[in-house]
Structure formats: structure tokens, C-alpha cells
Amino acid sequence: MNYIMDTIQLPNSKGYYGEYGGAYIPELLFNNIQELEANYKEIISTEIFKKDFDDLLKNYVGRPTPLYYATNLSAQYKCKIYLKREDLCHTGAHKINNTIGQILVAKALGKTRIIAETGAGQHGVATATVCALMNLECVVYMGEVDISRQATNVARMKMLGAKVIPAKSGSKTLKDATNEAIRDWINNPNSYYLIGSVVGPHPYPDMVARFQSVISSEIKQQLKQHQNISEPDFVIACVGGGSNAAGAFYEFIDSKKTKLIGVEAAGKGIDTRHSAATMVLGKDGILHGCKSVVMQTSDGQVIEPYSISAGLDYPGIGPLHAYLGRSKKATYLHVTDDQALEAAINLTRKEGIIPALESAHALAAINLLSPKDTDVIVVNLSGRGDKDMNTYLQHLSY
């Protein structure tokens, strides 16, 4: 199977999806971004890149991941529910699709030092993994607060040979880790910045979306085999920055039939000031080099978001999603911590699959839809729940 599909090129040549995107960067990053922008499309369209990428996704990551018909969940909701099993990818989440792609780009550009940011540690682990594989130096910035919350992932990164540097600025979480990673890139322009989501300055959102688009191209082919249809009625995916959702939506963005549902983390509720539902609470603004929707004060100071799920508490959202949401080509819902926890235990008991807390938000959103019994729903199960066992144990009584 060919995993790189040349599909809808949504952003224009300057990296805008409608009015969102672009590259809002200090002059110090101009050359770094230009080097990437001038080369990425050419690199990823070469035969050697396609061959390496396809081979690694198949034999290293374990693709294609199954599209599993969830019988019991389908009976519960009285519709046809499929789970796209990204949780079965090597390292436990969809994040590795992107790091495989970008590490090949980094190698093609002759880079030997890789910088990444991470929140909960999933992208950090996926980056440390490919750096170990390619024998490249790896530096991961992680908020000091997150380091203490995610000890296992920190240990995994260290065992893989990465240097984990605590981000001590600001609120000491993902937003600040991203700032620190970008500052490192300013100081070390010969390094490669391997961003973890469909955020950041152009061309990152486009490049990451392309690497994650393997999710929806597989869904398309697998639905054909299962149901003899190529487009589902709904695709549901959780959204922090939005990389798994971008990948799950990608092939269906122009579909007249498929309703795209992004699910943000409402945290303790959108009226509580402890939330990460950017599309509801945010305003147009600039964060980490792109124009998008950003949670901020009226003065333009970025607000620290909250969610029980460390992978969803980002105060921005990828510009693709800002565009899809504002132009009503996709719908963005939000579910609370409690709803996500409930959905996680439900899936575990009904199907014997422990989902990541992030993915549990997507599952919880089925409750917000009113599907017909003939409707085919694909939920992107972006990651597995191993990393969340502490949280599950704290919140659920058995």
C-alpha cells in the first residue's frame, strides 16, 4: 500500500487554510522555516522517501492498523461503530506516523540533532524512538510540571537515549515546552525541529497532516472491504492540537456524505475556567507561529488550559481545524473529564480495550450524536490507555 497520498492540498502557497495558518515567526527563524518550506514537498515525493516511509510504517509501526467493528458498542448505540486502532501502533499512539515521516525529512536535509516538545510524553517517546532507530541526537523539552506527572514516559525517553530538558518558563507545561523547543531551534539553526502536531508555522501543519493522512486513507480502503462503502457517515476524533483528527479527517474533508466531528476537552466544564475547549473559548490569534483560534485574555495573553488528559490541554488548535470549524466543514464538540472517564470504562468493559484518555473524549462524543441505525461511525482510537492507568485508578472505583 502506498501511504503517501497526494490529496487535497488545502493550504495555499503561504500555508493558509482560509485565513488561518501562515508563518508568524521572528526573523531569527526565517532561514530555518524557509529551508523546510522549500524542500519538504520535494523530499516527500521522492521514490526513496515513499519507499522508506511505507516500509517503516508497515514493518516497524505495524500498519495498517485494524479497523475493528465494535459489536457490543454498536449494539449499545444502535448504529455501526468502527474503531480505527491507532492504539496498536508501535509506542502506543498515532504520534509515530508523524515522527517517522519527519525523521526521514530531517535525514534528507542532513540534520543530526533533533529537537522536540512534548506534553504527556507521547510525542517525546515517538521522537526518541525514531531518533534511536536512526542514531540521531535527540533533545526533548517537557514542562517541569509534566515531567513529574509522567514519570514513565520520561523514563522511556531516557532509556531510548533522549535528553529530556525541563521547561521552567511560564506555566511549565506543553505550551512552554513548545516555546523552549522553538528557542532552542533559534539558537541551533542546524538542528531539526520535529513538531508533534498540526500546529506551528507553515509548513508544519501541512506536513504533519500529510503524514497522519495515512489514517484516513486506510479507513477508506478498509471500509470498502467491510461495508463496501468508501465514506462513513461520521468520523470522530479528539482534538488537542489536532494531529490524529487531521489524519482521520484528511481523505473525507471534501466528502458530501461524511460528517467530521472533532472533540475537544471541556475539562471541568466550559464555564469553569478549567477547560481546553479552544473552539468554544478561543478567539482568533497567534500562537507558536501560526494564526489560529487561541484561548487568551482580552489583552492577548495566552491562557493555560486544563484537561484531565495531558494530550488535549493545548491553548491553541491546528489552523486546519480552525478553518474547518469556522467554515462549518467540520463540527467541534466538547466533553468533560467525567464524560471521558465514563466512556473509557465503558469501552474497556464492552470491548476489552483500554483507551487513552484523549481517545476516550472521542468515544464520549457518540452520546452527543443521534445516529440512525444504518449510520456507519468511525471513531479514531488514537492511543492506548497504559499511560493513563494512574489517572484511571484515582478516578474510578472498582
Partner 1 sequence: MENKINQLFKEKKSNILSIYITAGFPELNDTVKNIRTLQELEVDLIEIGLPYSDPLADGPVIQEANKVAIINNMNLHLLFEQLYFSKEEIKIPIILMGYLNVIMQFGIELFYKRCAECNVSGVIIPDLPIEEYNSNHKYYAELNNVKNIFLITPKTSIERIKLIDSISDPFIYVVSSNSITGNTLSSFEELRSFYNQLNALQLKNKTLIGFGISNSSQYENACQLANGAIIGSAFISSIVNAQPAKNFIHNIRKLKSIAL
Cβ nearer to partner 1, comparing 159 with 300: 300
Residue 25 in grid coordinates = 515567526
Residue 3 to residues 9, 51, 54, 226: CA-CA distances in angstroms? 16, 9, 6, 20
Task: Determine if 186 is a binding residue for partner 1 (CB under 8 A).
Answer: yes
Which of 23, 44, 70, 235 is the binder for partner 1 (CB under 8 A)? 23
Q: What residues contact residue 5 under an 8 Å CB cut-off, 6+ apart?
A: 213, 217, 251
Q: Which residues pair with 116 in a beta bridge?
A: 140
Task: Determine if 296 is a binding residue for partner 1 (CB under 8 A).
Answer: yes
Task: Determine if 30 is a binding residue for partner 1 (CB under 8 A).
Answer: yes
Closest listed residue to residue 249, CA positions, set 370, 356, 330: 330
The conformation of residue 293, written as its DSSP 8-state character, comes to E
Closest listed residue to residue 202, CA positions, set 93, 307, 288: 288
Cβ nearer to partner 1, comparing 166 with 269: 166
Cβ nearer to partner 1, comparing 90 with 183: 183
- Tell me the catalytic residues: 95, 117, 382
**Residue span binding partner 1 (CB under 8 A) among the ranges 94-102, 113-121, 293-301, 325-333:** 293-301
Contact assessment for residue 207 and residue 246, using Cβ atoms and an 8 Å cutoff:
no
Q: Is 341 helix (H, G, I), strand (E, B) or coil?
A: helix
Q: Which of residues 192-251 bind partner 1 (CB under 8 A)?
A: none
Residue count, binding to partner 1 (CB under 8 A): 33
Cα 223 off chain centre by: 22
**Residue span binding partner 1 (CB under 8 A) among the ranges 63-71, 185-193, 340-348, 380-388:** 185-193
Q: Which of residues 261-290 bind partner 1 (CB under 8 A)?
A: 283-289
**Residue span binding partner 1 (CB under 8 A) among the ranges 79-87, 157-165, 175-183, 389-397:** 175-183
Residue 162 in grid coordinates = 533522549
Binding site for partner 1 (CB under 8 A): 14, 22-28, 30-31, 169-170, 175, 179, 182-183, 186-187, 189, 283-289, 294, 296, 298-302
